[in-house]
Structure 1
Amino acid sequence: MHSLNRIFRGLTLISIAAGLMYFALPGQHRALTPQLFGLTQVQPNLFIDDVSRSAQALDLIAQADRTNRAFFGPLEATPTFLFCYSVECADDFGIHTSGLTLRDRFILLSPQGINPMIVTHERAHAELHGFGSWVDYFDPIYPMWFDEGLASFISADSRLMIPQTVGEAIWTTDLHTWRDWGAVVTRENWPQVYGASLGLVTDIIDQSGCSGLYKLIQDVRNGADFDVALDELPGTALDRMDRKLHVKPCLFTRS
């Protein structure tokens, strides 16, 4: 009995400590209960720190949905958006970039990320992540170079520096996990890293067409290994180091 009491007291203390840390420490965990940290719910899937800008936020979400629907077809992910118009809010929720996506559940945006391109980029992540599971955080079914390259492609990110050849971009295929990506990307080199990943995605389109890109996404979603599915696409094996990278849009035809 005394042992059970000690265990119960220990678990109680641990629970209290965890609760205190949850409320005391800023970070992305706060997305689970945004109202407790100053955000107002204006739609079932939208929390915001400045309700006077709700109309703009809703319009940005609608634009992002339209663009992603044109690419993916009917959208399956239903992420909750947290719009932080103030730096203080972004710090409270641990948003240290323009935006970030937590699986297909949450999209968190800082002041510099509240624009059509970033919202569309993060919405693309949510849709692609919805094809996997939480395990993919550690071992994603879509490697990070493809995940980021595809989101940059869908959002038409014009800030990026795309290399001239496959050989100059191929190194990003080593960036498979979140940890791999985070260990390489810096405030100084992100246009080059994202640009190289975007270049490889556009090379898939150049060699196999938009239909090939869609097939790759669908095959992996259905359980195929990404690298195997990529190699099986006609002409898309990333083995021609001198092949020029041509940035061309897909003519989105999905409804």
Structure 2
Amino acid sequence: MVVLLLVAGAVLVRAYPSVAATTCPRCYGMVPVRDRLYVEPGRSDADRQRLVDVYDAATRRVDDFYRGRRSDPTVLACFTPGCYERIGGGGERGIAILDQALMLSPRGIDPVIAAHELSHVELHVRLGARAGDVPQWFDEGLAVLVADDRRYLLPPTEPDRCRDASPGPLPETLDAWLRAAGADEQVYARAACRVHRWVIAHGGPRAVLDLIDRLRAGDDIATLVTD
């Protein structure tokens, strides 16, 4: 049994280093800044404080939208590309891992990027077993809205925040989303537009909490949200 566990652990590390790293940050040389927040070793006090400030600003955005957080993910932040590659990161700015953790690349140590990934984790934690029922475009568009990402949305002072209101179907699955986003990053703007308009039409952010409750109660998302 011990041998099997060791083999399984070795396979996990090789195949899914990001899962292994977020499960055991210290095993990958990451050091704690505070509870559940880790950074690569050797960073200055200024870098560590910057990370804390970014994370606090990001959590405030999620708290404000969801009226509090139920998630408390482990966060691994890298200031150098080598660190991010070592923990299993790729070309993305940040990524949520199994709804339990998130990783931030050097380009992702920013309140908007961190809030985007925190929104994914928060939504999935609240949905539980129903998380897989939410189409990827809605999940991504909601994360843009929660993070207030001005690359893809106009300022809140605008009556309609859409930067790209192009019609047409949006990717439903993660694989389809990754392909679409790789070809055209503005798919985030189109998804954010759909979600923003849906939220406004249904009474504001509270509509997302109601949607979560209805999904957990067994309702079909296809009857509640369309693209």
Same fold (TM over 0.5): yes
What is the CA-CA distance between 1:131 and the residue it aligns to?
1.8
Tell me, yes or no, if the aligned pair for 1:142 and 1:220 is still in contact at 8 Å.
Answer: no
Which residue of 1 is the match for residue 30 of structure 2? 39
Distance between the aligned counterparts of 1:228 and 1:25, measured in 2? 38
Distance between the aligned counterparts of 2:222 and 2:15, measured in 1? 39
What is the CA-CA distance between 1:164 and the residue it aligns to?
4.9
Distance between the aligned counterparts of 2:29 and 2:5, measured in 1? 24
SS for the counterpart of 2:192 is: helix
Tell me, yes or no, if the aligned pair for 2:199 and 2:208 is still in contact at 8 Å.
Answer: yes
* AA at the equivalent of 2:178: G
Distance between the aligned counterparts of 1:92 and 1:135, measured in 2? 32
Which residue of 1 is the match for residue 100 of structure 2? 105
Q: 1:226 to 1:108 in 2, by over 3 A?
A: same
* AA at the equivalent of 1:217: I
Which residue of 1 is the match for residue 60 of structure 2? 66
Distance between the aligned counterparts of 1:212 and 1:23, measured in 2? 40
Q: Which one is further off, 66-75 or 205-214?
A: 205-214
Q: Which one is further off, 199-208 or 22-31?
A: 22-31
Distance between the aligned counterparts of 2:17 and 2:73, measured in 1? 18
Structure whose alpha-carbon radius of gyration is higher: 1
Tell me, yes or no, if the aligned pair for 2:120 and 2:139 is still in contact at 8 Å.
Answer: yes
Q: 1:206 to 1:170 in 2, by over 3 A?
A: farther
Question: What are the ranges of 5 or more consecutive residues in structure 1 without an aligned counterpart?
Answer: 1-7, 231-236, 239-255
What is the CA-CA distance between 1:155 and the residue it aligns to?
1.0
SS for the counterpart of 1:100 is: strand
Q: 1:149 to 1:41 in 2, by over 3 A?
A: same
What is the CA-CA distance between 1:200 and the residue it aligns to?
0.3
Q: 1:77 to 1:16 in 2, by over 3 A?
A: closer
The C-alpha deviation readout for 1:39-86, integer Å capped at 9, x for no partner, is 002222111104422222122121111111111012101111101111
CA-based RMSD of the aligned residues comes to 2.5
The C-alpha deviation readout for 1:143-167, integer Å capped at 9, x for no partner, is 11111000101111122385654xx
Which residue of 2 is the match for residue 153 of structure 1? 145
Question: Which of these residues, 3, 15, 18, is aligned with residue 28 of structure 1?
Answer: 18
The number of equivalent residue pairs is: 213
Question: Which of these residues, 204, 224, 232, is aligned with residue 219 of structure 2?
Answer: 224
Instruction: Tell me, yes or no, if structure 1 residue 121 matches structure 2 residue 113.
Output: no
Q: 1:207 to 1:20 in 2, by over 3 A?
A: closer
Distance between the aligned counterparts of 1:24 and 1:212, measured in 2? 41
Q: Could you state the TM-score of these two structures normalised by the residue count of structure 1?
A: 0.74
Q: Which one is further off, 18-27 or 118-127?
A: 18-27
Q: Could you state the TM-score of these two structures normalised by the residue count of structure 2?
A: 0.82
